[in-house]
Structure 1
Amino acid sequence: MFSVELLILGEGWTSKFLIPQLKENQISYASTSRSGHNDTLKFEFNPDSHDPTPFQILPTASTILITFPIKNLGGSKLLVDLYLKTHPKAINKMNLAVNFVQLGSSGIFTEPGWSDRHSVYNKADSRAIAEDELLSLSQDSIRTTVLNLSGLWGGERNPRNWITRVASTKELLISKTSLHLIHGVDVARSIIAVHRQFDKAAGSRWILTDRRVIYKRLGVHGVFPRYDWWDLANAWGDGGADSEEVKGPQPQWVGELMNQNGLRALPRSPDILGKSLDSREFWFTFGLEPVKGRVN
């Protein structure tokens, strides 16, 4: 059995940004996939199985990153238990801790107005239940944390391509309010920062957004930490990332909706757009600034 600093359970979209930065920072790693393709370890977690066999091929690691969602009660504890059962030397003689990071969704924060990592969230959400269970396991020798990510973009995930899906009709556009985003590069940087400073992360839930944009309308200035779907639909249309022109009916629909609602300019005000996610504490705590602070 070999050892690495960071083990990625579930190589996927995030790994496209994370692995290059791990190499750049000379952090040893291993990653898994269901198929075992591209030199990944073949591994699949079954929350209904107590068979430790799938875990036996995994390396010993100081930080285990869980990229796939675990839902409901029991799964998070089972994963931690099976890993430690098959890797008894993971907690060494110096009593160093094994760290577990769960990537989650900021969608569990549903209240209107401002929400930070300490705010009320939907505890009945199946992913939140599993995340809470993981956080409850945090102690001296097992440290856990959850990163609740906002909308992921970068690479093939281009928000300009989303308009045709989320606003294909005027009726769909009417219901669209705010959008929070974070780029894959900043997700990767955040994971590495947590890995290196886990004592600051242990036992806590964090919100990750790009901390953008600046709200400016009718002479009013202030922090506006999300995007307005109407503003994006108006600017982009449905031409997608490959189009340099604004195409489609969306700009016309936006104009009609602005007239119907008495809106003089975009983006719409915070009281209309609903929830706002405050991720400042993460960036301050770990000494980082987003390098992808706005979507183009």
Structure 2
Amino acid sequence: MEQQVMSAALPMLILGLGWTGQFLAELMVSLQLNYAATTRDGRNNTIQWSLPSACQDIDISALPLAKTVLVTFPVMQPECMTILIDAYQKKHNTQSQWILLSSTRPFDGNPANRHTPLDRSKDTGRIPAEDIIVERGGSVLHLSGLWGGQRQPKGWVPRFPTKEAIRNKLLARQLHLIHGKDVARSILAVHEHFRPGRWIVTDNGCYDWIKLFLVWGNEEQIAMARDLAANDATCHEALGDGPLEDIVERGGVKPRLDSTEFWETFGLEPTEFLKIE
């Protein structure tokens, strides 16, 4: 999307303030950058707006002109994305920069970078609308596990109470994360130095689920994990001999997602990392 001079435009319009938008709004305020944001109920001086399920009902009359339009929620109908972009740009008679947030789920390589073909069989309905953004010259940021604020990985461990759930984590091992503060910095960098296409955004590393269970799991979870490592043939072959502590110490967990190109392109480095203790 070709950038044009928009003297009366806000720097950014955040469609769907939500969890990610809160970090971004805080960053923009600290930098004295103006923005507008929408929420479903118009709380906290935001614009009351949401994307309707029927694409023909999209109403952009309340949406102000901005250099960058950030869509933080998944758009499940590609025609809605097309209508939204067309209506917004027709109203304001200009070409804004469009950024859509997504997940890393469709990147199935090991390792996978932003050029790795998407595994569309893992699509949850997001990809067609993302394709529209990319085709129109916009940018899709594929974010790994979001954490920060009320989202803390320590609280995720209880979600895996069964032996089968723990087994899956022992075999996968890798947990990729990105903190909300670094998400905000990433979005602002794309806004300021726009580059179209799909980007993977992680903290450039990964974490070991085994260590998370050892440090934050309950006694039952840890016992199940130890039993699986010792007696489940597939787990034992994947993890090797010895207690879980020795397996963690040996390491061997390498990132499956490669976000190096993102950080190098935009001249940034991640700053927030998970401490497992």
Judge conservation of contact 2:15–2:69 (CA < 8 Å) in 1: yes
TM-score, with normalisation over the residues of structure 2? 0.85
| Deviations 1:174-195 (CA, angstroms, capped at 9, x unpaired) | 0122221100000000011111
Is the counterpart of residue 207 in structure 1 residue 190 in structure 2? no
Is the counterpart of residue 108 in structure 1 residue 106 in structure 2? yes
CA distance in 2, matches of 1:63, 1:295: 34
Number of residue equivalences: 252
Listed as ranges, the matches of 1:1-296 within 5 Å are 3-46=9-52, 48-51=54-57, 54-88=59-93, 91=94, 97-111=95-109, 113-124=110-121, 125=123, 126-138=125-137, 144-165=138-159, 167-176=160-169, 177=172, 178-198=174-194, 201-202=195-196, 204-212=197-205, 226-237=206-217, 247-260=218-231, 261=236, 262-264=240-242, 265-267=246-248, 269-270=252-253, 276-296=256-276
| Deviations 1:194-240 (CA, angstroms, capped at 9, x unpaired) | 11101xx12x100000112xxxxxxxxxxxxx222222111211xxx
Judge conservation of contact 2:60–2:84 (CA < 8 Å) in 1: no
CA distance in 1, matches of 2:53, 2:89: 16
The aligned residue for residue 94 of structure 1 is none
Judge conservation of contact 2:13–2:35 (CA < 8 Å) in 1: yes
CA distance in 1, matches of 2:114, 2:29: 30
Q: Helix, strand or coil for the counterpart of 2:129? A: helix
The aligned residue for residue 215 of structure 1 is none
CA distance in 2, matches of 1:211, 1:186: 11
Q: Helix, strand or coil for the counterpart of 1:109? A: coil
CA distance in 2, matches of 1:36, 1:279: 35
Name the amino acid aligned to 2:271: V
Judge conservation of contact 1:63–1:98 (CA < 8 Å) in 2: yes
CA distance in 1, matches of 2:155, 2:230: 26
- Percent identity over the alignment? 40
Unaligned runs of 5+ in 1: 92-96, 139-143, 213-225, 238-246
Superposed displacement of residue 77, structure 1: 1.2
CA distance in 1, matches of 2:96, 2:9: 13
Judge conservation of contact 1:77–1:137 (CA < 8 Å) in 2: no
| Deviations 1:124-166 (CA, angstroms, capped at 9, x unpaired) | 522122111210012xxxxx1000000000000000001111x
| Deviations 1:81-123 (CA, angstroms, capped at 9, x unpaired) | 12112222xx2xxxxx410000000011124x21000002123
CA distance in 1, matches of 2:57, 2:103: 28
CA distance in 1, matches of 2:44, 2:241: 52
Judge conservation of contact 1:231–1:266 (CA < 8 Å) in 2: no
CA distance in 1, matches of 2:268, 2:211: 28
The aligned residue for residue 5 of structure 2 is none
The structure richer in strand per residue is 1
CA distance in 2, matches of 1:62, 1:248: 52
Alignment root-mean-square deviation, CA = 1.8
Name the amino acid aligned to 1:114: P
Aligned in 2, Cα 1:232/1:40: closer, same or farther, shift over 3 Å? Answer: same
Judge conservation of contact 2:55–2:80 (CA < 8 Å) in 1: no
The structure richer in helix per residue is 2
Q: Helix, strand or coil for the counterpart of 2:186? A: helix
Judge conservation of contact 1:123–1:129 (CA < 8 Å) in 2: no
Q: Helix, strand or coil for the counterpart of 1:255? A: helix
Superposed displacement of residue 72, structure 1: 4.2
Q: Helix, strand or coil for the counterpart of 1:152? A: strand
CA distance in 2, matches of 1:115, 1:290: 19
